[in-house]
Structure 1
């Protein structure tokens, strides 16, 4: 009796293989053949689920965003349940930390995401997905800034503070991927915490 293959599970296997190839050798080496070999599949099996390289890359890029989004979503209810200002600040830091390369999993995700983002500059088929992901991060940060402003007056304009926080996250991510020995998880966490502490006017 032929083995029944779950299409979504097989696509996820291929996506994981894409990520491993990209982390190890760069996006330019994530060909259908190399990804199939990494996944332990015949290239025909990969072609059964993806019409070509572009479709596979777009799917992998969207999967990367969805995985991070799912973890961010898991922080929403606990954050809303926090009562005191200190508890809320801790919850905000934990949520935003999901976007930083603080451990092996998040560093791998950030490495892959940076590779996709750079490729999107010259590959129009990837650009809408990169822009959608970045816009999603800006909306998330904007909501966080808005929530902070409802608790205590901001030192600056909410729109400007949103851009500043996005720029900080972007910068820490790039440095954490390119210079992990210098930009350590401890330093990234401290930089994020200190920035969040400077967003509002001192309390009474």
Structure 2
């Protein structure tokens, strides 16, 4: 009886192999040949799924986004609003090994998309989706009456987005200094600074 191959699982296996190589050795080493070897799959089989490195990288980033969405949708948001907001933001910061891999892939994908038109559309979609999630958090502070008076929702959305990106990049550069605990503390302090002070 012929062996039934789960093609989606094979593609995910290849994407995860690409994640490891990008995180441990850098984007330049994530060639189709190297990824095939890391995944224990023949080069011909890899090319059947992903004829080019760009297609492999695109799927890898799509898988990252899919897993972030899945984690976010499974969060139990039944605590104090600001605590729930911290939980949401924690899903897009590299606070554990899995999220660090995802951040490495995101960074490699973003850089590659600058010179690869076939990747630019999805890169822009990621940017807009992330920005929308952050806008929702800032807007919620205002809607719930928690925000400081005269808070500019659009400006604060950009500021928080820049803070998250900066923390993620600094963690990748200096993980021993910009630790997960430090990143979470910075985000907590920032959110609290946006809230109305109780008098």
Q: TM-score range by the shorter chain?
A: over 0.9
What are the within-5 Å matches in structure 2 for residues 138-149 of structure 1? 138-149=131-142
SS of 1:154 mapped into structure 2 = coil
Q: Which blocks of at least 5 consecutive residues in structure 2 are unaligned?
A: none
Aligned to 2:118: 125
Q: Which blocks of at least 5 consecutive residues in structure 1 are unaligned?
A: none
Q: How far did 1:196 drift?
A: 0.1
Runs of 4+ in structure 1 displaced over 4 angstroms? none
What do the CA deviations read for 1:29-64 (whole angstroms, capped 9, x no partner)? Answer: 211111111110111111222232222221112111
Aligned to 1:201: 196
What do the CA deviations read for 1:66-89 (whole angstroms, capped 9, x no partner)? Answer: 1112212222xx32x34xxxx111
Q: Does 1:181 align with 2:173?
A: no
TM-score w.r.t. length of structure 2: 0.93
Mapped to 2, the partners of 1:37 and 1:183 lie a distance apart of 33
Q: How far did 1:114 drift?
A: 1.1
**142, 148, 161: which one pairs with 1:154?**
148
Mapped to 1, the partners of 2:107 and 2:192 lie a distance apart of 28
Aligned to 2:102: 109
What are the within-5 Å matches in structure 2 for residues 19-34 of structure 1? 19-34=19-34
Aligned length: 197
What are the within-5 Å matches in structure 2 for residues 87-98 of structure 1? 87-98=80-91
SS of 1:99 mapped into structure 2 = coil
TM-score w.r.t. length of structure 1: 0.91
